[in-house]
Amino acid sequence: MAASVGVCRLRFRGFGGLDRFCLGFEPQTQKRFTSTTPAIKVQTESKTTKAAKESRTFQAIQEERREQAERSVLISCPPKFNENKFLDYLSKHGTINKHFFYNTYGAYAVVEFSSRESIASLKESTNIPAVEHEAAVPFKSRLLSLKWPGSQSSNHPMPKFQNQSPPSINEITQLLSEKDSIDEQLQCLTEALQLTEENISLRFLVCSLLQDIAGAYFPECIIRPFGSTVNSFGKLGCDVDMILDLNGIYATSQKKGSGLSLEYQVKRGASERAVTQSILSVIGKCVDQFGPGCVGVQNILQARCPLVRFAHQPSGFQCDLTANNRVAMKSSELLFLYGHLDPRVRHLVFSVRCWARAHSITSSIPGAWITNFSLTVMVVFFLQQRNPPILPTLDRLKELAGPSDKCVIEGNDCTIVSDLSKITLQRNTDTSEKLLQEFFEFYGNFPFNKASINIRKGKEQTKPETTALYIQNPFETTLNVSKNVNATQLERFVALCRESAWLLHQKEILNRSSVSPWGFAALLLPSVTSGAGVKSRRKKKLEPASSRIKNLLDSLKIKGGETVAKKGSANSSR
Ligand code: GTP
Ligand code: MG
């Protein structure tokens, strides 16, 4: 968008599919979110409300979603039921704002009422099941089961189920091969992989259900999603990162007066980390013992950031619950902001993440791999290097912040502007295709042996330590977010960047009629540098690997008087 508008003030309006993150549903999604039966009041949005929503901050958007989740229930449905009767039954308890159905090991409905009283009324009329040979934990959660009398299960059409899974790599390849340009492919990829409105609602609802459990101990706690659920780079199927936020409790305890006062008697822990571990271990136990649908609970309390990991079966989500992790939430806000500044940012992030996953550069298993978070920061850094820059530096976002944006967490200044309309972008008309190609060239050439990536300054900095890859943590500036990455993994990344850059220089690959899959889809094929079966797929059309790589090395730009080959050997010698 910014490519064609030159210097512009940013508003959420006009960013198409991004509206989903601002609660202004895009038309296509709006259709999918059903409000059907006569008993259901269709909510019409006034122009004023819509305009107000368009300039919402990250926090305001998250708050609204959270509040909607608190008015929602998750209901397991039988194989056969009548949607209208089901909704009529529920609407006896109050107006239904929205509902949708999905299927994961059974049919489920998410139903959002317009008021919390409806939830109370619904719970009043809901039974604890009588279980034979076992006993039920009498915890009244908002995860319910619909009991449908057999006699009423006549042949009604089943409701439409919303898809909650990402397309397979074959489906993606097929989809992309039908597009006419690489720009179209990257946009199509983003649309196919991104979280849907329904999926985001379900993620907030799962956090809200968890909050009901943690609330038994800490009634004022809030469980908030962070990471890719909210940072605008979430892909269908990604995990749900959650924070148990106890800050509200501390905030309300800071009422200081000069007269008499009382304070709570509290247990003390050796350190904040020890307290966090102790709280998470208890909540983990409750989730395990009392949380309906929560299985495979693991307490991973010795990690740098202690967490409880579990699977929430009804939603199919893998969940990571952390506590006392406010910086990570701020990082999510920062990425959200970058994702909203220009549509090319998300196109590039989604394509680079997809490419990295296809080549096992990233993995769902923790290890020495590059993470999605690191990759996203690398894309942001690359876009700050463009001439003119597509993204502002973090220091610039801090300069633009107002007094209410001031944010210091554990001594780290995490201040960034929250009002996007204050950000002025420079005119940059690069196509997504050009950016993708130059991303690969940029990192195929990057002097990883001596330089670090720093999005705060938007400039390469001298590496302060000898880890293979150094990406400065945006807010905790003495930390490296990619400390885990070893030299082998970095070398694989560099080699694949070079190969992909080279492939994009080939006319064949850019020509829809000459190879299939073509364009970006061809970059998802297994690499010539990493295994069997690959050569046979590409060799038919392209040169053998050795001469291809040699040509690539020759064709890539020489930067700073040092050849790519020299830089590669500098990296591998570490
Ligand atoms: P997915 O792979 O789609 O789950 O991406 P993600 O962005 O959610 O990444 P992940 O689940 O690994 O981490 C969740 C969030 O934690 C990230 O978005 C970051 O905000 C934060 N995070 C992850 N790794 C680091 C790190 O090494 N340092 C810091 N400061 N934050 C991190
Ligand atoms: Mg995540």
The greatest distance separating any two alpha carbons of the chain, rounded to the nearest whole angstrom, comes to 85
- With a cut of 80, say whether residue 100 has pLDDT above it: yes
Distance CA 513, CA 509 (A): 9
Helix (H) or strand (E) run with residue 523 in it: helix 520-523
pLDDT bracket for residue 535 (50, 70, 90): very low
What's the burial of 147, exposed, middle or buried (CB within 10 Å: 0-12/13-18/19+)?
A: exposed
Q: How far apart are CA 323 and CA 241, in angstroms?
A: 11
Is the Cβ atom of 232 under 6 angstroms away from ligand 1? no
Range in 26-35, 145-154, 198-207, 513-522 with the lowest mean pLDDT: 26-35
Does residue 473's CB lie within 6 angstroms of at least one atom of ligand 1?
yes
- pTM of the full predicted structure? 0.85
**Tokens, residue 328:** 């990570």
**Lowest-pLDDT range of 376-380, 408-412, 485-489:** 408-412
pLDDT of residue 314: 97
**Spatial separation of the C-alpha atoms in residues 569 and 574, rounded to whole Å:** 9
- Nearest CA residue ID for atom 28, ligand 1: 481
More confident call, 16 vs 428? 428
Neighbours of 50 (CB within 10 A): 12
CA 353 to chain centre: 11
CA of 517 to the centre of ligand 1 (A): 32
Q: Supply the pLDDT for residue 513.
A: 76
Residue 38 has pLDDT above 60, yes or no: no
Helix (H, G, I), strand (E, B) or coil at 44: coil
Q: What is the mean predicted confidence (pLDDT) over 112-139?
A: 91
Atom of ligand 1 nearest to the CA of 373: 7
Tell me the C-alpha to C-alpha distance, in Å, between residue 408 and each of 224, 254, 327: 19, 17, 9
Q: How confident is the model at residue 515 (pLDDT cuts 50, 70, 90)?
A: confident
Query: Which residue CA neighbors atom 32 of ligand 1 most closely?
Result: 328
**What percent of the chain has a predicted confidence (pLDDT) above 90?**
68
* Dist. CA 264–CA 15, nearest whole Å: 49
Q: Give the pLDDT score at 153.
A: 55
More confident residue, 556 or 444: 444
- Whether 23 shows a pLDDT value over 70: the answer reads no
Between the CA of 452 and the centroid of ligand 2 the distance, in Å, is 24
**Given this model, what pLDDT does residue 483 score?**
95
CB 358 within 8 A of CB 351: no
CB of 331 within 8 A of CB of 475?
yes
Nearest to 488 by CA among 314, 368, 348, 358: 368
144 CA distance to ligand 1 centroid (A)? 32
Cα end-to-end distance, the chain, whole Å: 42
Runs of H (alpha helix) within 320-479: 326-341, 343-358, 372-384, 394-399, 432-445
Which residues are within 8 A (CB) of 213 and not within 5 positions of it... i.e. 6 or more apart?
A: 139, 141, 283, 286, 287, 290, 291
Res 252: pLDDT = 60
Q: Is the pLDDT of residue 236 over 80?
A: yes
| pLDDT tens for each residue of 375-406 | 999 999 999 999 999 999 999 999 999 999 99
373 lines ligand 1 (CB under 6 A): yes
Q: What's the pLDDT tens digit per position in 448-473? A: 999 999 999 999 999 999 999 999 99
pLDDT digits (tens, 9 = 90+) for 259-303: 888 888 999 999 999 999 999 999 999 999 999 999 999 999 999
